Amino acid sequence: LLQDSASLLEDLKLNTSGFPLALDVGCGSGREAIWLATSGWSVTALDRDKRGLNRFMDIAKRQGCEQLCHPLCVTIDKEGDLIKATSPARFHLITVNRHLHRPTLVEMASL
């Protein structure tokens, strides 16, 4: 999905110092997070499913990008949970695919 936005993401990378930081909310097994990491992004991949996050890290190791991948197993039930889980990090990019938790959407603007 993010591949279609590659030029925009490259522009974002050019406007940051060091590795640009991305947050993938509800990442599952990390399809988008892996693509970002292999493109030079430092990615925090957040999901409530440990098995999916384990698959994500297995794929990251096979792709040689595990240093840029940071799994975070968290359940987001109420407003404030996302900020609490990721604080004090700030992100250049937040991606949400196949995850909808309305209170979380409000919080993303402050990350």
Q: What is the pLDDT of residue 52?
A: 95
Q: Could you tell me the strand order of the sheet in which 21-25 lies?
A: 69-73, 42-47, 21-25, 93-96
φ and ψ at 100, to 5 degrees?
-140, 115
Reported confidence tier of residue 105, pLDDT bands at 50, 70, 90: low
Residue 37 pLDDT greater than 90, yes or no: yes
Determine the Cα–Cα distance for residues 56 and 34; give it in Å rounded to an integer: 8
Q: Note whether 27 and 46 are within 8 A (CB).
A: yes
Rounded to an integer, the average pLDDT of 66-88 is 91
User: Which is more confident, 6 or 36?
Assistant: 36
- pTM listed for this prediction: 0.81
Please list, in sequence order, all residues whose beta carbon lies within 8 angstroms of the beta carbon of residue 11, skipping any fewer than 6 positions away. none
What is the pLDDT averaged over residues 42-63?
A: 96
End-to-end CA distance of the chain: 22
Out of 30-39, 51-60, 79-88, 93-102, least confident range? 93-102
d(CA 39, CA 36) in angstroms, rounded, equals: 5
